[in-house]
Amino acid sequence: NDHISLLDLLATGEEGVFGLIIDAHNAKRHRDLIAESRRRDLDVILDTKILQMGFPGALTKALSMLPWGLERHHYVTDFEGAAGEKRASQIVEATIADGFTQLLGPTHLLTSVKDPWLRRDIGMMVRTASEIARNGKEKELKLIYPLVVPMSLLRNASERRAIITAIGDAPCSAIWLKIENFGDDATGEKFAAYIEACRDFHECGLPLIGDQVGGLPGLGALAFGAVGGIAHGVTIQQGFHASSWRRPAVAGSGFTPSRRVYVPQMDMLLESKAAEKLFAASPRVKAMCGCKDTHCCPRGVRDMPDTVG
């Protein structure tokens, strides 16, 4: 019932929803959600978590237990030759078995056009596409290229275009652009650089999705036609930062997020005090930005500060 309520909410929302992203280690737990999404003609996209598994500080026990996981983080050599073919086979097999309609290909964070991961990722995209074809699922299962680069590389026009040329060899139905140090907290200058960079990607002739881009930058990227869609969680994963992943995890080093208030009209999470100042600005602002969903905020604005982001 919780799954059905969630899908009803998404289907009747103001923003169009074309699919849900499910993490590979949660696929079995969300079996009912996947089935219900398929029944409603929503795409269900598998995130293999390959990106995360390439960092020493991001690997978890659950990820290690995936068919393509290891007790340590991945190295480039883990995707060469027979090892790469085996992982491609395991990924496609799991994708088909769990009923997904789209697959985020096995790619990694690039540091430059000379990064050894680039050619390895392109090779894995080719292997994955071949496995999909071998299983006769070319029409039912679409392969997405997740291109993950830091903001500094995206700004570099020559390197950006070189990478775009290189990934032209990779079979895919869409490109999902995930930019490190860019998201809902981006400055206006960063946002302008992002839009300019996206123009080059349009030359690929493929749908371009801004991954983990929320808030005003996400809405702005849509409004200016920089991307054809955005992907992010419900008040989470609206920006991408990998700095903590680069360091080995330390036991007991986790933290609890501070309380925040979600303002749907702005697609932003605000600190409680900032939200209170916003609502106090004028009756018009309060009426425009106040939550109108009586299920979560029956008293409107008065209940919104109690909403945890």
* Predicted confidence (pLDDT) per residue in 21-32, tens digit: 999 999 999 999
Q: How far apart are CA 225 and CA 208, in angstroms?
A: 10
Q: How far apart are CA 305 and CA 260, in angstroms?
A: 7
pLDDT above 60 (res 228): yes
Instruction: State both tokens at 80.
Output: 């060469």
State the pTM of this model.
Answer: 0.79
pLDDT at 301: 75
Which has the higher per-residue pLDDT, 160 or 59? 160
> What does the CA dihedral 141, 53, 30, 9 come to, rounded to 10 degrees?
-80
- For 173, the 3-state DSSP assignment is coil
Task: For residue 250, name the pLDDT band (cuts at 50, 70, 90).
Answer: low
Mean predicted confidence (pLDDT) in 253-279: 70
CB-neighbour burial class of residue 229 (10 A; exposed 0-12, middle 13-18, buried 19+): buried
pLDDT above 80 (res 264): no
Which has the higher per-residue pLDDT, 276 or 89? 89
pLDDT above 80 (res 229): yes
CB-neighbour burial class of residue 223 (10 A; exposed 0-12, middle 13-18, buried 19+): exposed
pLDDT above 60 (res 1): no
Residue found under tokens 């219900």 = 36
Return mean pLDDT, the chain: 86
> What does the CA dihedral 221, 240, 27, 24 come to, rounded to 10 degrees?
120
CA geometry: angle 46, 49, 50, nearest 5 deg: 115
CB 270 within 8 A of CB 225: no
Mean predicted confidence (pLDDT) in 151-170: 95
Q: How far apart are CA 279 and CA 281, in angstroms?
A: 5
Give, as one character, the DSSP assignment of residue 245: G
| 6-10, 125-129, 203-207, 290-294: least confident range | 6-10
Mean predicted confidence (pLDDT) in 150-155: 96
As a whole-number percent, the residues of the chain with pLDDT over 90 amount to 61
Residue found under tokens 């208030």 = 261
pLDDT above 60 (res 44): yes
Mean predicted confidence (pLDDT) in 164-186: 94
Q: Residue 126 is which amino acid?
A: V
Residue found under tokens 């990998």 = 242
pLDDT at 4: 44
What's the Cα-to-Cα distance from 256 to each of 18, 143, 259, 260, 309, rounded to whole Å?
31, 35, 9, 12, 11
Instruction: State both tokens at 240.
Output: 């991408």
As a whole-number percent, the residues of the chain with pLDDT over 70 amount to 85
Instruction: State both tokens at 91.
Output: 């990924």
